[in-house]
Structure 1
Amino acid sequence: MPDGHETLLEIEDLSVHYRSTHGDVAAVSGVNLSVRRGEILGIAGESGSGKSTLAVALLRLLRPPGYIAGGSVTFRPKNSPEVDLLNLDERRLRVLRWRSLSYLPQGSMNSMNPVMRVEGQFRDVIEEHSSLSRSQIDAMIPRLLGQVGLEPSVARMYPHELSGGMKQRVLMAISIALEPDLVVADEPTTALDVTIQRVILQSLADLRSAFGVTLVVISHDMGVHAQLVDRVAVMYEGAVVEVGDVRQVFKQPSHEYTRSLIDSIPKIGPVATPAPVGQSEAL
């Protein structure tokens, strides 16, 4: 958890709509949310609650028919003046991406170039967004892979040679290659088995410890938030209905929807034995 309460990202009254033949549909409605430097903030909610739409909107990755209907997103990178990401020109936004602001998308299976080795995918990002030489980049790659628990030999592999968990960790390594201020991870454990999920969660926690990276972790799985985040924001029907310290939210949720999400977590304990057919429980 960060020592202070310096705000890195401030989302104010953000609304996102999708155009349809039946009129505009609000996917995100008037969201107000802050992200503190150095923390891991979780965004929770079931599918369709607006979590991923919120992420791609603040990163300016929203595609038609979606559009930003209103609001502002103030970003305060280190050693640079604050900017409103929603009103930033494309040139300045391109400078910020990867160097100050990174995105770990859903679906690692579809997020890598299938005909390029892993090392080439690192080079593409780093050469485009930094002035490092080829030799400097090549020296970085084994270290970055090691940070997420992968062997240096992975650099020479193609995506089809990697498991789903390995692909996800490669993308994590690429996302922190230039030590950005903020990484947004959208459903980082989806479609992975529970053993690999644990590895991914530990790798995300290590990124904060090793690099001081601020993380926004989007997940429908409340168990992920319980294990990883410092604070959690709960979204329901496009709105944030509760924000708080993760322990406080789990112990005393203030919104009925949050309670239902917590109750959906599988629990270990004795199972009540049903009464024999034809007998009451009192017997």
Structure 2
Amino acid sequence: MPSDSEKATDNILEVSDLTVEYATSTGAFTAVQGVDLDVRRGEILGIAGESGSGKSTLALALLRLLKPPGQIAQGSITFRPDGGTPVDLIKTQGRALRALRWRNLSYLPQGSMNSLNPVMRIRDQFADVIIEHAPNRKGEVREMVPRLLRQVGLETRVAQMYPHELSGGMKQRVLMAICVALEPDLIIADEPTTALDVTIQRVILQSLADLREQYGVTLVVISHDMGVHAQLVDRVAVMHRGRIVEVGDVFQVFDAPKDDYTRGLIASIPRMETPERSGQEEGAVR
């Protein structure tokens, strides 16, 4: 039987008692409170909850992207890169933190429409990330960009285009390709299907699943849509009012939710069912 230390290496991210506060004129507002959460290496973990439950704030805290007035009030975040030494993300600062981004940790932001530079061609936006975070790979950019675009289902001609020439789904897939450019260990995707129609949502979800298969990357997918989690994730953590109220295998959570809030989220999924007619209506038809 493996020891506790051996078991711990199965986790790529370990979050303990994480609390995030925002300073306001009336005092501190707690957006994330006492979160304990482990992310297993190679899995797709979903974080579910309604708008305002603290999901995006949690994502920004994990990536150390919080800006004032937000701050991490307490807790620990341990990141275990593949083949590397565990890193305390809260204590890591400056160049050391910058070195982890894109190469080990990537972020797929909410709102692809506004996440790309409107005055730069797509190929140059890839180059910016690759050259800044892996300057030794500068010479590979020309051959990397077409390959990365093809892997998310885009034609290579997209590299020559500007963001305004792309649809919302194409922009989202460009961002996904940028996220995996340096083959990170962990990607956190915040509402990756927001503002996309249902057909394109399906394409994006399949692309995320394919990235896990192609790169072995671990994914944390944040979405208020329980249907997204049902289609994509291995485990799901449910957030309510800044707390994790339930974590479990996605089948277990959907089949036998333990928390009333989780039951409410599942009940909110639209169903393609024809309502049964009442006896009076049936009689009237006859």
- Taking structure 1 as the reference length, the TM-score comes to 0.95
1:165 to 169, 175, 179: 169
Residue 83 of structure 1 aligns with an amino acid whose one-letter code is: V
State the alpha-carbon separation in 1 of the partners of residues 37 and 174 from structure 2: 29
1:212 to 209, 216, 233: 216
State the alpha-carbon separation in 2 of the partners of residues 19 and 247 from structure 1: 39
* C-alpha contact (below 8 Å) 2:130/2:137 kept by paired residues: no
Per-residue deviation, residues 213-245 of structure 1 (Å, max 9, x unmatched) = 000000000000000000000000000000000
**Which residue does 2:154 correspond to in 1?**
150
State the alpha-carbon separation in 2 of the partners of residues 132 and 32 from structure 1: 37
**Which residue does 1:11 correspond to in 2?**
15
**Which residue does 1:248 correspond to in 2?**
252
- Taking structure 2 as the reference length, the TM-score comes to 0.94
State the alpha-carbon separation in 2 of the partners of residues 127 and 255 from structure 1: 47
Kindly, what percent of the aligned residue pairs are identical? Answer: 68
**Which residue does 1:94 correspond to in 2?**
98
| 1:117 and 2:98 are equivalent in the alignment | no
1:128 to 127, 132, 137: 132
Deviation at 1:22, TM superposition (A): 1.4
| 1:269 and 2:277 are equivalent in the alignment | no
Range that drifts further, 16-25 or 237-246: 16-25
Residue 149 of structure 1 aligns with an amino acid whose one-letter code is: G
2:48 to 44, 47, 52: 44
Deviation at 1:24, TM superposition (A): 0.8
Structure 1 runs (4+) deviating above 6 angstroms are none
**Which residue does 2:143 correspond to in 1?**
139
Deviation at 1:21, TM superposition (A): 1.1
Deviation at 1:275, TM superposition (A): 6.8
State the alpha-carbon separation in 1 of the partners of residues 102 and 151 from structure 2: 17
Aligned-CA RMSD value: 1.8
| 1:62 and 2:81 are equivalent in the alignment | no
**Which residue does 2:3 correspond to in 1?**
none
Report the secondary structure of 2:135's partner residue.
coil
Deviation at 1:90, TM superposition (A): 1.3
Aligned residues: 277
Per-residue deviation, residues 135-159 of structure 1 (Å, max 9, x unmatched) = 4111000110011000000000000
In structure 1, stretches of 5+ residues that fail to align are 278-283
Residues 133 and 214 of structure 1, relative CA distance in 2, 3 Å threshold? closer
Residue 263 of structure 2 aligns with an amino acid whose one-letter code is: R
**Which residue does 1:35 correspond to in 2?**
39
